[in-house]
Every structure is written in structure tokens, then in C-alpha cells.
Structure 1
Amino acid sequence: MKYRRLGKTNLDISVIGIGTWQYGGEWGKDFGQYEVDAILNKANEKGINFLDTAECYGDHLSESLIGDYLSRNNREDWIVATKFGHHFHGNFERTRHWSANDVLKQLDASLKALSTDYIDLYQAHSCTDEEFNNDELWTMLDKQVEKGKIRNLGISLRSNGESYQTDHASDVNAGAIQVVYNRLDRKPEENIFPSSQNQNLGVLARVPLASGYLSGKYKPGATFSADDVRSKHDSEETAILLKQVEEIHKNEVPEGVPMATWALAWVLKHPAVTAVIPGCKTPEQVELNAKAAQLAEDNHPQSLK
């Protein structure tokens, strides 16, 4: 495994992380504790130390599954990131809660669910610019950093096309951002990445496999079942994406390299990116994802010697 310093934070994180939205039960599968344990055990075995979750992946459900594991294993082995700003109300339904008092309650609930005294990276979750511009909120969060409940602040961006929150990340003492970035969506390269590099912000790339389109499993003409979120995508756009993927596989992916592994490594090669956080449903997926660390270039500016 490779490790990089997450921007201006003091966190040395594995370049491959574990995304955990699926543990909240919204993706067609309910995870048992034994399944999460197996995934995290495999991650630990492969040197992965970074977990990304949120209070609204289920009603703190993903956090609770992770917390149960952490309570029985060495908390210090893990860098845990979670998020704030929402309450879960069933499948893909949320209400937004951004007052300082509401977020403090969310923080305490997350600490309890995660069975920990501190959160390594606490991220504003897909907030609007109006919600972001809240001095009372960020002042409260700074106080929680001083108290030791939070070690670092971050921003999980709502949009790839606007850089306002990235541009003002340092103003609210955020040391990292999270953004959608993959071979099919390179929008962050235009404004978000340059702003991040200018401020020495860590960058976490989510959806690195483009919702599975870059997994190598799907050919042009593929269809998706009604319970698959991709079935809700525009059919013409899906057809265009699958054609793009076919061309990428033909022209860019080295022979013998799984496309998913290549796609993760492709993201990691950008000098602004610190780590990728693909979702993992099985220990086998964790193992395949971990192999991407070896494909990424060793001379990355954030790589640790």
C-alpha cells in the first residue's frame, strides 16, 4: 500500500480508502456485522487505513457498523472520516440540518455510533453556498477541534462545476475536500484542483469507477434492473457513457490489467488527488482495489518517502 499526506492535515492516509454508503442499506443489500468485519479485516490486511462514512448512510447505521468493529479492534489503526448536514428518512430521502446546534447534536451522535472519542476528518456534506456561509457553524466546529472531538475539518462538495467552497476552504479551517472525479468526469481539473493545490488541500476522489461504468462489467447495450440506481439514468446518456468506456478500454487500459484497477490508478495519478474512496461490498473487491496502489506513479507530489 502507498500512503500520502492529506494536504495540510496531519493525516497520512492510504491512497485506497473504503467508501461505506452501501452499509446504510440503500443499495439493495442489508449488511450484517460479520460482513463489515470481513471487509475491514481485509482492508487492514492490505494496509488500507482510511474509512469514509456519513451520519445519513442509514440513520447512523453505517457509522454503527464501523463503530462496532472499531470497538473490538485497534482504533488507532484507522483514520475515520464522517460527514454532517442531514437526517436520514428512508431510501434516498434526507432533510437538511445546518444550524450550529443541529450539527453539534449530529457530531455527538456520530461519535457515539462510531464508538470513538474523536473523528479524524469531519466533513460538511454537500452543502449549498448559503449553508456554507455560516460563521456560527464554523466557529462551533473550531471549538470542537480545540476540545479534541474533531481532529480536522473538510468539505464534501455538492457540485463539480463550482469552486466557491473550495476557494474558501482555508477560511473555515478545512484541510481537505471530497469531490466526484473519474475518467468520465474530469470537471474538477478546471477549477477545483488548481484551487486545492494553491491551498495545499487534500483531495479525496469519490465515485472513481463512475457508478460502476468503469468497472469493466458493462458493454454497450447493457441494461440495468429496476432496483439498480443506474436504471434511473437517462438511457441516451447511458449509451454514450458505455460507448466511451468501450473506447477507453480499447485504447487506454493495458492488456491484462482489470479495468477497475486501472480506473482507480488513473485517478491517483493526478497530482492534486490524495486518495480514492471506492465503495466495497466484499473482501474480494477490497483486494482488487488495493492493487491499484501499485499502478499509481511513485513520484506523486504527496507521496510519503
Structure 2
Amino acid sequence: MQRRQLGPDGLTVPEIGLGCWQLGGGWGNDWNDDVAQQTLHTAIESGVRFIDTADVYGDGASERSIGRFLAGGTDSDIVVATKLGRAGIYPDGYTRASLREATQRSLERLQVDALDLTQLHCVPTDVLRQGHVFDWLRELQQEGLVKRWGASVESVDEGMICLEQEGLASLQVIFNIFRQKPAEELLPRAADKQVGIIVRLPLASGLLGGKITRATTFRADDHRHFNRDGAMFNVGETFAGLELERGITAVEQLAPLVPAGMTMAQMALRWVLDQPEVSVVIPGASRPDQVRANVDAAAAPPLPAALHEQLAGMYRAHVRDFIRGPY
């Protein structure tokens, strides 16, 4: 896979990474660490070198699983990014001590001496504006507990706030065919500042995989059921903020545009990779075969300019005005 720069310090990573929300449960699947270990092994064998997790995924289960994998002996160039700021801290528990404690717990679960990258995990906008959390992250970096720090944000406005902070290595954003707004201003601004862009939810919670239909049902413990309308956390984290019925209609409009020889999921991943400001995209995978399919998208040629224009037009006409939640 092609490698891309992530942040201002010269770090490069292959352009397809692995999002590990699923490895901690929460997508309606029973937790199985054997499958998680197989998925991680397949990712590394396939060329993935960037793994993204968070302390809140499975109440630490995702980090612990990755820690066991790392302890088994792996390539030294793997970059593991985690996040903090939700578990036991959100919405108003942000202090120097709470961020330090969260960092130390992540270090223990991941079984490492320093975090390659830690990210604020969708913390309130007012907390970002106050700025103290960034000072505390700088302190952790100076002490050697974290090598780099960044932020995972919900909206363009939050991203722009973060970009004013000296030392920011990365921004993690929701960015996909159904959620194109970051390309207008945020991504170019990040590139100007040499801040890496990590793209999460490139398949809009599976919508852009092309397999969800009006007959699809989700288990009660799958966020695509319980957070469909933002009942538990930001609605933008589920189906890119679209009401499911409208999202399925948009997918039906996309289907005829998928190039021959590609799946809809691969077209969606390729669309993200065609944006030069993107450092790495982190599709989730709960099985080894999903990892392989994701990596295959990197081998596909860039989408034709005419197709990009069609996808932009579809977004403006049928999606943009129907996205719910901060955007």
C-alpha cells in the first residue's frame, strides 16, 4: 500500500488502517477475542500498520485485545492510536488528573511504555475552546507518556478550533460520500498546518457497503439500532447522521455508479483515498475477510473525475441538507 504522512514529524503509515470499535463489541456481535486476534493478524499480514482504538470501546476490551496482540511480538513499525475523554470523564470531568489517569490505564491495557498517538475523543466544544485539555496533553508528551496527540471531532467547527493548537498531530473526522463537508475547508486547512487526517466511518456504519436494505434489522445492542436517532451519543456517528430510510434511498441511487469490478464499499473507500489531504482511513472489521476487502480498495485506481462530479452532485441534491447532528 501507498504510505502517507501523518502529522508534522515525518511519520508515515499505509493509507488503509484498522478501526477497532468492533473489536470491543457494541455492533451487535458477541465478543470473541480469538476472532479479534485473527483479525489483527490478518490486518498486519495484509500491510496494515495503523490501528485505531479507544479506552471506551468495550470498556477497555478493545485496548486489552490489542495489547495481547502486541505482546505476542509484531512488526515494530505498527502505530497504535487510542483515544481518551469519554470513559468516566465526559461531559464535565476534564482535569489534568483525569487525563493522566486515563492515559495510564491505556498504557497498561496496551502493554506499552508510551502511546504512539492519543486523541481527545469527541469532547464538548466548550472544553476545546477553553484549551486546558491541550496543555495537559502537551505535559503528557513532555513526560514521554505519549509520543503524539490529536483530536477526534464531530464537526468542522470543532476541527477548526483544534487546528489553532500548536503541536496538534492529527484530526480524526467522519468523512465519506454521504458526509463531504470536511473537504471544503477543514482538510485544506489541516494540510496547510501539516496536521494528519484520520478518516473514520468511511462506510457510514455499513450503509456504503451496499448490503443494508429496508428489510435489514439490527440487534438491540448494535448502535445502528439504539443510536439510530442519536439517543445515546452524537447521531452523526450512526449512518453519517442520515435517517436510515433516506440513507438507503441514497444507496440505491449510488448503486448504478459503482465501477465494474468494484464493490460499493471499495468505491466508497477509494473516494476517500482520492482526497490528497487524507493520511489514513480506518474502516472497521470484525472478521479477517473484511480486512482483506478493505485493503483491496487501496489497489484500485483513482475514481474518474466524472464519477467524482456525479458523487458530489448526488450529495448536494439528496444528502447534504438531511444530515442531522453537529456537522
TM-score, with normalisation over the residues of structure 1?
0.87
- Provide the residue aligned with 2:268 in structure 1: 263
Provide, for residues 111-165 of structure 1, a one-character-per-residue CA deviation record: whole Å limited to 9, x for no partner: 0000001111110110122212344432232122122221111110022xx3244
Provide, for residues 254-293 of structure 1, a one-character-per-residue CA deviation record: whole Å limited to 9, x for no partner: 1121111111111110122111111101000000000011
- Provide the residue aligned with 1:74 in structure 2: 74
Candidates 183, 201, 215, aligned match of 1:222: 215
What's the CA shift for 1:297? 4.1
In the TM superposition, what are the counterparts of 1:10-49 in structure 2 within 5 Å? 10-49=10-49
In the TM superposition, what are the counterparts of 1:119-134 in structure 2 within 5 Å? 119-134=115-130
In 1, the alpha carbon distance for the partners of 2:297 and 2:53 equals 21
Candidates 155, 172, 177, aligned match of 1:178: 172
Maintained 8 Å contact 1:128/1:158: no
Pick which of 274-283 and 146-155 moved more.
146-155
2:295 is the alignment partner of 1:284: no
- Provide the residue aligned with 1:150 in structure 2: 146
Give the match's secondary structure for 1:122.
strand
Q: 1:96 to 1:86 in 2, by over 3 A?
A: farther
Amino acid corresponding to residue 18 of structure 2 in structure 1: I
2:236 is the alignment partner of 1:242: no
In 2, the alpha carbon distance for the partners of 1:204 and 1:167 equals 17
Provide, for residues 171-219 of structure 1, a one-character-per-residue CA deviation record: whole Å limited to 9, x for no partner: 2411110000111111212332122122121111100001101102134
In the alignment, structure 2 segments of 5+ residues that lack a partner are: 230-238, 304-327
Amino acid corresponding to residue 292 of structure 2 in structure 1: E
Maintained 8 Å contact 1:87/1:96: no
Aligned-pair identity in percent equals 33
- Provide the residue aligned with 2:278 in structure 1: 273
2:104 is the alignment partner of 1:111: no
* Aligned Cα root-mean-square deviation (Å): 2.3
TM-score, with normalisation over the residues of structure 2?
0.82
Q: 1:140 to 1:225 in 2, by over 3 A?
A: closer
In the alignment, structure 1 segments of 5+ residues that lack a partner are: 299-305
Q: 1:31 to 1:230 in 2, by over 3 A?
A: closer
Q: 1:191 to 1:167 in 2, by over 3 A?
A: farther
In 2, the alpha carbon distance for the partners of 1:289 and 1:192 equals 25
Candidates 182, 191, 197, aligned match of 1:197: 191
Q: 1:88 to 1:105 in 2, by over 3 A?
A: closer
In 2, the alpha carbon distance for the partners of 1:246 and 1:53 equals 32
Provide, for residues 227-277 of structure 1, a one-character-per-residue CA deviation record: whole Å limited to 9, x for no partner: 2433453699322221211221202x1112111111111111012211111
Provide, for residues 70-91 of structure 1, a one-character-per-residue CA deviation record: whole Å limited to 9, x for no partner: 11123623100001112269xx
In 2, the alpha carbon distance for the partners of 1:212 and 1:57 equals 18
Give the match's secondary structure for 2:48.
coil
What's the CA shift for 1:3? 1.2
